[in-house]
Amino acid sequence: MKKRTLVVAASGAALALALSACGGGDSTTTPTGEAAPAASAPAGPTGFNAGLDAVTNPSDKKGGVLKMAVTEDWDSVDPGDTYYGMSWNLLRIYGRPLVTYNPAPGAKGRELVPDLAESLGVASDGSKTWTYKLRAGLKYEDGTPITSKDVKYAVLRQLDKTTYVNGPTYFNDWLDLPKDFESVYKTPDVNTDQAIETPDDQTIVFHLNKPYAGFDNFAALPATVPIPQAKDTGIKYRDHVLASGPYKFDKVEQGKLYTLVRNDQWDQATDPIRKALPDSYEITLGVQGDDLDNRIISGDLHVDIAGSGVQPAAIASVQQDPELNARADNPIAARTWYISLNPDVAPFDNIECRKAVLFAADRTSLQTAYGGQLAGDVATSLMPPGIGGWQKIETYPSAGSDEAKAKTALTACGQPNGFETTMTFRSDRPKEQAAAESMQQSLAKVGIKLTLKGFPTSEYFTAYAGKPSYMKENKIGLATNGWGADWNDGFGFLSQIIDSRTIREAGNYNLGIKDPAVDALVDQAFAELDTAKRDALWGQADAKVMEGAYVLPAVYAKGLLLRGKGVTNQFITGAFDMYDYLALGVE
C-alpha cells in the first residue's frame, strides 16, 4: 500500500475530512485573489502558490519554538512502524535514514541525497546488491556512535509485521532473507548476512532477491533510521525513540503532545542537509480541525503536520480574504481518488458495462464531490501526473459525462436499460460519501441504479472493500478508494494496486485486475534498469488499466495549505507534496 494521508480518525461523528497530500506545481487552476504583495516583504516570493516552487521567507535565523499540530494521533513515531507521509517527512528531524529527499521546493525535492550514508547507494550484481558507507562521527543522543549494524538491526526489526503493523513491506518482499528467519525477536540467532551484511561499522550491504534499480527509494524509507539493538524496547520504543537527528524527544505524551529539543550530540558537520533552525518543536495532537485552521490563521500555530489541507470552512475564508489567500499554497499530490470497478461481479465482468460507468460518471460533479477545484483536478488516468511516464489519456470524458457513449456501451454489454449494483464508500469520509452520491445521480441517468453502502474506515479494507470474498458475495460492483505514491515513480504508485499477484484475502488495496497483459508490463518494468524506459513501461501499464476500464479515476488530489505566520523557509517538497519539515525555522 501507499503512504497514508492522515485522516481524522472518524470519531463516529463523521467529522473526518479526507483531503490528500499534495504534489508538484500545477497552476492551471490558480484561483482568484492573486498574490497581495506584502508591504514589508522579506526576501523570497510571496502570494498564492508561492511555496510551490520557491522557498518562502528564507532565513538562517536560529532559535524559537516551532509549533505544530495535528488533528489526531498518528500511527507511531517509531521509524519502523509508521506509514503516514507526514510522519516520514517529520521524523527526519530526529531520525536519519541512509538517504533522504533533498529539502528543496517542488520537483527538486524528489531528488535523493545521502543522509547517514556518505553517498547514494552503489549497485552491483546487476542492481541486486547495494552498498552504503556511513559518514564518520555519527552519534545518538546518548553519545554512543551510530554503526551500520544499527541500521541493519533497524531494517530487520521492522520486518516483524506482527509487532510493527503499520509500516510498508518493501524490505520483506525484496530482501534475500534466509528461509528460517522469522523476526529479530523470535529467531535472533539466524544468520541474516545473505540479506544484509555489515562488513564493518561503517558499511552496510543489501542483497535483494531480484534486481531493483531504484533501491535508493528503499534506503530513504524510515526503516533505515538506525536503532541500536540494546535500546530496542519493541513496541514501546515509540515512547522514547533514540535520536540520530538534530532534535531529541523531550516530552512524550502519546496521543497528546510531543516536544523535541536540540540533540547536542548531533554534529552539523556530519549533516549537509539539515539547518536545524528552531530551538525546539512543540507538537500538539488531537486538535480539532477547524480550531487548528483558525490557530494557523491567527499565527498561534505554525504548521498543520497532516499537510492535507484546511477544512471546508477555512477554504471559504481563504477564498474571501486576500491576505489569507496570499499565504496559501494549492499543490497537487501524487495521489489519485478513484472508484474501482469490481470485475468479479456481474455485469462488470463485461468490459462494456465497465465502460458504460466510465462514460456515464459526471467528472465535474465528482470533482465537486471531492472538494472542488482546490481539492483536485479531474483525473484521466490512475497514475497521477507528477509521476514519470504519466500521460493524459483521452478515452473518457474529462468534464461532465458522455451519456450517448455510455448508452452505446450498455447496449454492447447487453444491458441496454441499465442494471443495478452496489457501491461502497467510507462512511466517515464526507467526500467519498459525496462521490458515491454523485455516482448514484449520474449513473441513474443511463439507467444504472446504485445502492450505496457506507462502512467505517477502520474496517473498510479489513472487512469490506478490501475483502474480495465479501465484495463478491454481496455483489458490490463499485468502491471508492484512493492511492498515494510512497515515492514518485511508477513502482511507488502502481505496483501494489494493479499487479494481480498482490491481491490479498483481506486488507486488500489491489484493484483486482486479473489481466495477464498488465502483469506482464509490471514484470517488464521491475526488470528494466533504465529509468526512462521504466517510466514509459509504467505509463503503458497505466494506459492498459484505463483501456480495460477497471477503474474510474476521479481526481488527482490537491490540498489547500496555509503557510504559518512567522515561519521561515516554508516550501512544498515534491517528495511528500506538503511543506518540507526539515528546513523550517521561526522568525
Partner 1 sequence: MVTYIIRRLIGALLMLAVVSMVTFSIFFVVPRLAGVTATDFANRYVGRAATQETVVEVAKKLGLNDPVVVQYGRWVKGIFVGSEFDYGSGVEHCPAPCFGYSFVTKKPVWPDLLDRLPVTLSLAVGASIIWLLAGVAVGVLSALKRGSLFDRGAMIVALSGVSLPPFFTGLIALSLFSYGLRITAPGGAYTPFSENPAEWAYNLILPWLTLAFLNAAAYARLTRAGMLETMGEDYIRTARAKGLKESTVITKHGLRAALTPIVTIFGLDVGILLGGAILTENVFSLPGLGKYATGAIAAQDLPKIMGFTMLAAFFIVMANLIVDLLYAVVDPRVRLA
Partner 2 sequence: MTAPLDVSSEETKATPEAVVSGLGGAKAIQGRSLGQIAWMRLKQDKVALAGAGVVIFLVLVAIFAPVIVGWFGHPPNEFHQEMIDTMTMRPKGGSGISSEFLFGVEPQNGRDLFSRVVYGARISLLIAFFATMLSVLIGTVMGIVAGYFGGWVDAVISRLMDIFLAFPILVFALALVGVLGQFEMQLGVQGDTLRILLLIFVIGFFNWGYIARIIRGQTLSLREREFVDAARSLGARGPYILFREILPNLIAPILIYATLLVPANVLFEAALSFLGVGIQPPTATWGAMLSAATKYYTVPHFMIFPGMAIFITVLAFNLFGDGLRDALDPKSNR
Decide if residue 235 touches partner 1 (CB under 8 A): yes
The residue from 25, 228, 454, 468 that contacts partner 2 (CB under 8 A) is 454
Paired with 513 in beta bridges are none
CB distance 294 to 20 below 8 Å: no
Residue 581: CB partners within 8 Å, gap ≥ 6?
89, 90, 92, 93, 303, 305
Question: DSSP string covering 275-286, please?
Answer: ---SSEEEEE-S
The residue from 452, 503, 517, 527 that contacts partner 2 (CB under 8 A) is 452
Decide if residue 505 touches partner 1 (CB under 8 A): yes
Decide if residue 291 touches partner 1 (CB under 8 A): yes
In order of 18, 142, 239, the CA distances from 564 in angstroms are: 21, 33, 28
Query: Considering CB distances under 5 to 8 angstroms, the limit depending on partner class, which of partner 1, partner 2, none binds residue 336?
Result: none
Q: Which 2-61 residues touch partner 1, going by CB under 8 A?
A: 9-13, 15
Distance CA 422, CA 233 (A): 46
CB of 467 to partner 1, least distance (A): 8
Burial of 43 (0-12, 13-18, 19+ CB in 10 A): exposed
Residue 179: CB partners within 8 Å, gap ≥ 6?
none
Decide if residue 162 touches partner 1 (CB under 8 A): yes
CB of 34 to partner 2, least distance (A): 13
Closest to partner 1 by CB, 267 vs 473, is 473
CB of 308 to partner 1, least distance (A): 17
Distance CA 342, CA 340 (A): 6
Buried b (16+ CB within 10 A) or exposed e, 292-324: bbbbbbeeebbbbbbbbbbbbebbebbbebeeb
Question: DSSP string covering 337-385, please?
Answer: EEEEE-TTSTTTTSHHHHHHHHHHS-HHHHHHHTTSTTTEEEPSSSS-T
Closest to partner 2 by CB, 160 vs 362, is 362
Query: Considering CB distances under 5 to 8 angstroms, the limit depending on partner class, which of partner 1, partner 2, none binds residue 161?
Result: partner 1
Listed ranges 207-215, 378-386, 505-513, 540-548: which one lies at the site for partner 1 (CB under 8 A): 505-513
Q: Which 455-474 residues touch partner 2, going by CB under 8 A?
A: 456, 473-474
Listed ranges 125-133, 351-359, 408-416, 452-460: which one lies at the site for partner 1 (CB under 8 A): 452-460
CA 265 centroid distance within chain = 31
- 445 SS3 class: coil
The residue from 163, 202, 408, 441 that contacts partner 1 (CB under 8 A) is 163
Query: Considering CB distances under 5 to 8 angstroms, the limit depending on partner class, which of partner 1, partner 2, none binds residue 505?
Result: partner 1
Q: Which 350-389 residues touch partner 2, going by CB under 8 A?
A: 364-365, 367-369, 371-374
Distance CA 544, CA 523 (A): 14
Residues that bind partner 2 (CB under 8 A): 10, 12-15, 17, 31-32, 290, 311-313, 315-317, 319-320, 364-365, 367-369, 371-374, 427-428, 430, 433-434, 436-438, 440-441, 451-454, 456, 473-474
